Amino acid sequence: MASGSRVSNDNRRSHPCFGHSLFPEKAVARIFKPSRSVTTSGTAWTKGWRLVFDRRSAPFIEPLMGYTGSADTLTQVELKFPTLESAIRYAEGQGLS
C-alpha cells in the first residue's frame, strides 16, 4: 500500500434492505422473557428477552414418512435481546406486529 493512499471504511452506505423489512408482510412476533424450567432451580437460560414468530400456516403430515411438516420456516427463528426496549425497537423497525 502506498503511503499516500488510504482505504476508507464507509459505514454511511445504506444497507440493500434499508427501509424494507427482512420478514414477510404478515409476520407476527411475540416478545417474552423465558422462565426457568420447573425441574431445576437454575436460571441460566432466563436472561434477556426473546422474539419468536407465530405460525402462519397449519402443519401437515408428510405423506411418505409420516413426519410433521410445515411450509412456514419462520417459526424456527428465535432472536435474543438484552432488554425489552431493544426487542420492541427492533420489531417496530422491521414493521412487525
SS3 state at 52 = strand
- Our measurement of the distance from residue 19's CA atom to the centroid of its chain's CA atoms, rounded to an integer in Å, reads 17
Least confident of 23-27, 57-61, 71-75: 23-27
Kindly state the average pLDDT of the residues 61-84.
Answer: 90
What sign results for the dihedral spanned by CA atoms 39, 43, 49, 52? negative
Q: pTM (2 decimals)?
A: 0.65
